[in-house]
């Protein structure tokens, strides 16, 4: 149901975009300020208590409602998950700014592009050249796609129900508001919010960077990742480094000997990169297992969780008269048999080759080939 939840949210936000600032950010900031005023007693540990007082109840509430709704009716539980994802995941938080800046640059309206970028970044962009505006816009888009799409997806998959999405969204917003409000190390709430989000986002950051490398120029992305400026203190520096290499464009904090100066063509490529990365995520979420990870020596698999029989639970076989079937034993476990026993983990590489039919099949000549599969 995970993939259907994500697809439903992406379609829903295209049909009826939600005001993220009004529905999520502003209420969350108000709640954080209210709780901080009551917990702030001037001690460092007060920041941790204040952060937990904001995050823990929201995460627990989202999970509790999901459990109750799912117990009443699985459809209610799914709708609740979709609703929570609708508030926490999507492109609406940044896509309109990016599209408007791209259009302004294509129309040679540099001044308007600077104004839009300034509104998006929250700082003055006067005096920037067209290439610098394009570069800043690409940087903002890559970071925003991580924070509002890929980071949320990683935590959504790792934690049960919508808890992961809520945890990531709330932690990210608290980090953002504290970063804007204060860089004072004595501000206990702001300091702990930054540290907590660094922990929450450690794995999602690296998975997003790897994702950009896989769907872009892998070698250049990994080289840019390894040779990035280690003094760059920005939270998403590795995402920017990987994105720069994947796109072949120069971004701040990356090795300037690599890539070209940013332009509208690179802005278009950045959109394609993000969509390819999302498509890869959906393909990963669409995967499933046929079971068979629980085997008896000299007998084989005990169960499957689909319509195939246990003799076909892994390895090559035939299905019908002309269909070849191959099932991998995989690396994980089935929800119905959450253990592995006497079943070695495996990754299967399938190579599609053209095999001559030999003319033995009616209606097919001897010089005609049909696809066949070899498994390793």
Q: What is the pTM of this model?
A: 0.73
pLDDT in tens, 17-66: 777 777 787 888 888 778 777 776 666 677 788 888 889 999 999 999 99
The tokens describing 3, both together, are 């993939």
Domain ranges of the chain: 2-285, 295-375
**pLDDT-flagged residues of the chain (< 70):** 1, 40-44, 93, 178-188, 255-258, 285-291, 304-307, 333-338, 352, 354-376
For the stretch 166-175, what's the b/e string if a residue is b when 16 or more beta carbons lie within 10 angstroms of its beta carbon?
A: bbbbbbbbbb
Q: Which long-range contacts (CB under 8 A, 24 or more apart) does 322-327 make?
A: 324/372, 324/373, 326/350, 326/373, 326/375, 327/290, 327/292
pLDDT digits (tens, 9 = 90+) for 270-327: 999 999 998 888 877 665 556 677 788 877 777 766 667 777 777 788 777 777 777 8
Q: Who contacts 189 (Cβ-Cβ below 8 Å, separation ≥6)?
A: 32, 36, 39, 40, 46, 47, 50, 51, 178
């Amino acid at each position: 149901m995970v993939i259907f939840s994500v697809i439903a949210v992406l379609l829903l936000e295209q049909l009826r975009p939600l005001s993220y600032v009004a529905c999520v950010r502003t209420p969350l900031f108000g709640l954080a300020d209210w709780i901080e005023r009551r917990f702030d007693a001037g001690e460092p540990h007060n920041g941790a208590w204040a952060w937990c007082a904001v995050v823990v109840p929201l995460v627990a509430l989202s999970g509790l409602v999901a459990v109750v709704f799912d117990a009443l009716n699985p459809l209610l539980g799914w709708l609740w998950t979709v609703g929570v994802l609708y508030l926490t995941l999507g492109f609406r938080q940044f896509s309109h700014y990016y599209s408007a800046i791209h259009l302004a640059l294509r129309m040679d309206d540099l001044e308007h592009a600077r104004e839009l970028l300034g509104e998006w970044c929250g700082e003055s962009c006067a005096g920037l050249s067209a290439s610098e505006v394009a570069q800043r816009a690409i940087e903002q888009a890559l970071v925003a796609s991580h924070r509002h799409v890929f980071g949320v997806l990683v935590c959504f998959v790792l934690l049960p129900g919508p808890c992961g999405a809520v945890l990531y969204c709330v932690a990210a917003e608290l980090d953002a508001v504290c970063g804007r409000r204060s860089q004072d190390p004595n501000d206990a709430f702001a300091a702990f919010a930054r540290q907590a989000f660094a922990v929450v986002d450690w794995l999602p950051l690296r998975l997003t960077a790897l994702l950009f490398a896989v769907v872009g120029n892998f070698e250049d992305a990994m080289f840019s990742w390894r040779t990035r400026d280690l003094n760059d203190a920005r939270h998403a520096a590795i995402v920017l480094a990987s994105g720069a290499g994947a796109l072949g464009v120069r971004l701040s904090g990356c090795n300037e000997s690599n890539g070209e100066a940013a332009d509208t063509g690179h802005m278009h490529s950045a959109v394609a990169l993000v969509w390819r990365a999302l498509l890869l995520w959906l393909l990963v979420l669409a995967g499933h297992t046929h079971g068979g990870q629980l085997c008896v020596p000299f007998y084989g698999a005990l169960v499957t969780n689909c319509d195939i029989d246990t003799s076909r639970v892994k390895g090559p076989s035939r299905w019908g008269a002309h269909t070849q079937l191959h099932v991998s034993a995989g690396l994980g476990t089935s929800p119905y048999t959450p253990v592995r026993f006497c079943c070695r983990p495996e990754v299967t590489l399938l190579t599609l080759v053209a095999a001559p039919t030999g003319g033995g099949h009616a209606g097919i000549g001897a010089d005609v080939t049909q696809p066949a599969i070899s498994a390793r």
